[in-house]
Amino acid sequence: MINFDVLLQSIFLVLDWKVLASCFAGVVWGMFVGVTPGLTGIMAVVIALPLTYFMDPQSAIALLLGIYVTAIYGGSVTAIMIATPGTPNAAATVLDGYPLARQGKARQALEMALYASFVAGMLSTVVALVIFPVVATFALKFGAPEIFAVIVFSITIIAGVSGDSLLKGLIAATFGFLIAMIGQDPIHGSSRFTFGVHDFQAGMHILTLLVGLFTIPEIIFRGVEAFKAHDTVSVGEMGPALSFSKFASYWPTYLRSTTGGSLLGALPGLGGSPAAFLGYFLAQRFSKKPEEFGHGSLEGVAGAEAGNNSVCGPALVPMMSLGIPGDTTTAVLMGALVIHGLNPGPMLFESSPEFIYSVFLLLFVALIFLLIVGSGVIHMAKWVVRLP
């Protein structure tokens, strides 16, 4: 149950100019990192963490939350424009975002990604703010069997995103399992499939794999096109803006993908990438035009972006209420709270309830700043359209 007296105190804490400035700075930095392939949201948060040592707790968490929220969307810009996900969370966005860009609808894809991210972020934060005690209790009951069931469920999503060939999807999934086995066994500590290469001990980084999966084939494809045309290969013009009627027509998709992403976000350890593919799967499963998915569907972009951006608020719930981070980024955020003398866990609600509410309010503020900064980035993205 929301304590409105404490909520009012939290509003005054958030409206402090230093807190708002810190949040805006985090949004700008998060956007820069998000649109840079090879960098991730967790990297951006870790780099900014030392800067928070001399800040008050409110300003520190505002800076880090701004980065956390914005880096997720930022990855979709390069995913749409050059088929290179800026962050792992944007992998699902490539499937329909880049085909739209090649059709001359890059602006519509970018705006759909931005608006879907904003709507999903707002809705999931409201959900997290209202029902976080219930969700936290439910997440606490998840043991090894339940986590295994969630993993099995995530594997079934392959059937929904494999397109016309389920066999190819299963082959790709099997190859992914083999790559995931490289590195150190987390249970026994023994090395698996390292072939004597010391750098393989830590396993294969997912962002490296995504760049190889999406970018290298695209480089080859563009090289062939350029050779045939003996001219500049262009993705296409930015195209017209997204109309409000088109945006509003996908409200069921936003709601379904946000619901799925919020549920995964509240479960410790899953993160935004599975949520993005779940959102994409749900969008395709209930779409009136599923045949367009993979060939340039705005609904596919909406589902993927709503899915991955709905993770932020719910992922904070187990971190603050149980001391269990929802993903790697919230693990760093938890460290930031400890640095400032705030111990995540059940007692945090008793000792600093106004801080808990201020965190969720800062998510709303960060999303508003995301809408402003993201709109500017879309106008600058036209310089990425023409590639040699």
Query: Could you read off the pLDDT of 167-192 as tens digits, one per residue?
Result: 877 887 788 888 888 888 777 778 88
Q: Nearest-CA neighbor of 26 among 11, 47, 10?
A: 47
Least confident of 64-68, 192-196, 233-237, 261-265: 233-237
pTM assigned to the model: 0.75
Confidence of residue 251 (pLDDT cuts 50, 70, 90): very high
Above 70 in pLDDT, residue 196? yes
Q: Where is 386: in which H helix or E strand? A: strand 386-387
Q: Which residues of 249-287 are buried (b: 16+ CB within 10 A; e: fewer)?
A: ebeebbebbbbbbbbbbbbbebbbbbbbbbbbbbbbeeb
- Give per-residue pLDDT as tens, 151-167: 676 676 666 555 567 78
CA pair distance 286, 168, nearest whole angstrom: 23
Q: In this structure, what DSSP letter does residue 237 have?
A: -
Above 50 in pLDDT, residue 47? yes
Strands 233-234, 386-387: pairing kind: antiparallel
Contacts of 268 (CB under 8 A, 6+ apart): 139, 142, 318, 324, 325, 326
Mean pLDDT of 196-214: 70
Per-domain residue ranges of the chain = 4-163+233-387
**Position with higher pLDDT, 122 vs 178:** 122
Q: In this structure, what DSSP letter does residue 293 have?
A: T
Q: What is the pLDDT of residue 387?
A: 43
